[in-house]
Amino acid sequence: MHITELLRRSTAYTVDDKVVVVTGALSAVGQQLVRRLVELGARVALVDSAADGSGERLSNEINNSTQHESSIYIRTDLRRLDDIRLMVEVTVLTFGRMDVLVNNAEHYAAELTGSEDAQRICDSIDINLRAPVAATWVFARYLHQSGNEGVAVNVAAMAGLVPGRGREVYGAANAGLIHFTEASRALAPQLRVCALAPYYVDTPVDMDGQQRMLPGQRLGSLLTLSSDQVVASVVRCIEDTTLAGRTIVLAGESTYSHSWSYFLSHIHMVLIMFCSMLVLVIQRLFGRRVAQWLRSLSARVAEEVEAHSSATDDAVVVDNGEHQPDCPAHEPRSSAADGSKKEV
């Protein structure tokens, strides 16, 4: 199903006037999501670990544009349960309540056998799995005590559904988050938990400041998502009351939102990857030969043009615009009876 068709569905729950907590708010997708939520009328708590003032600057920029306190920045270490508790408490104290939690923070660990830093592996599990589970637990306790209803959106990854080399830890953590989401179906309607599992998102940099994908280096570019698509899908997860316990798989322009249809996303991904690999192999095998042939062809054309231009250099232009070859010079001779001269 096309993503735009899904987004057209009417919903009774809207983002307007909701208080939303967004973790990983300073990532490329996070910043765009925060801005979009504010545009839709939400008040947002920006949660990240940055201590360089970038969070405060973004919050001030948003507040200046709205002319009121639409956002706050809460510096949080999501590996610490006390920080997560404080995140919820500060949000409630500032805005009076908390309606939505978006677990958007992520941490990508290197390949398991190639990693020299065990802490990175632990951080990947902590931030991608333990933190969203703990944040959802703290949020659920707040909702239970206040009697309010809320929504938790877990931004996972397709690596949690499709195991692959180099994604052992990252994929396992996301698989756990997807399983946690589906198991949390029973918490609705007081807490509606749903998740996203996007393929690669085409953003300039990730949370670690490393380039994630370059346009010329994409493998399976038809599966690549724009940050706009992810943001729109998060908004849909917040507003669509039918998605409790479900994970939306995003692959290019296609969306799969039922567990029985996940295998279709696998087939979709495999077909696109196969076609991309085939194109890559053809380029590697024949691309150099084609380039050499084009260079030789252009060289021959250039030689012919040069030869043609040199052959026409000796031509003269007469009054009627036609080219005539040069003829040996002749002295004018008198052949008319009246003594007039005619040039021959």
> Could you read off the pLDDT of 310-332 as tens digits, one per residue?
665 554 444 444 444 454 554 44
**Mean pLDDT on 17-45:** 97
CATH number for 215: 3.40.50.720
Specify the pTM: 0.70
Domains identified in the chain, total number: 2
Of 249 and 187, more confident: 187
Q: Are residues 152 and 244 in the same domain?
A: yes
State the Cα angle at 85 between 82 and 89, rounded to 5°: 135
Helix (H, G, I), strand (E, B) or coil at 316: strand
CA 77 to each of CA 71, 80, 83, 253, 306: distance values in angstroms, whole numbers, following the listed order:
19, 6, 6, 34, 70
Q: Are residues 216 and 285 in the same domain?
A: no
Structural domain contains residue 325: no
Q: Is the pLDDT of residue 213 over 90?
A: no
Max mean pLDDT among 30-44, 188-202, 282-296 falls in: 30-44
- In 3D, which of 89, 247, 229, 75 has the Cα closest to residue 153? 247
Q: Are residues 237 and 188 in the same domain?
A: yes
Cis check: omega of the bond before 189, within 30 degrees of 0: yes
Q: Mean pLDDT, the chain, as a whole number? A: 78
Range of the domain at 292: 271-312
Last residue of a domain, which of 257, 280, 304? 257
Q: Are residues 16 and 67 in the same domain?
A: yes
Structural domain contains residue 337: no
Q: What per-residue confidence (pLDDT) applies to 154?
A: 98
Bridge partners, 72 (sequence order): 45
Last residue of a domain, which of 194, 224, 257? 257
Structural domain contains residue 338: no
Q: Are residues 232 and 155 in the same domain?
A: yes
123 CB contacts (<8 Å, ≥6 apart)? Answer: 79, 107, 109
Q: What per-residue confidence (pLDDT) applies to 239?
A: 95
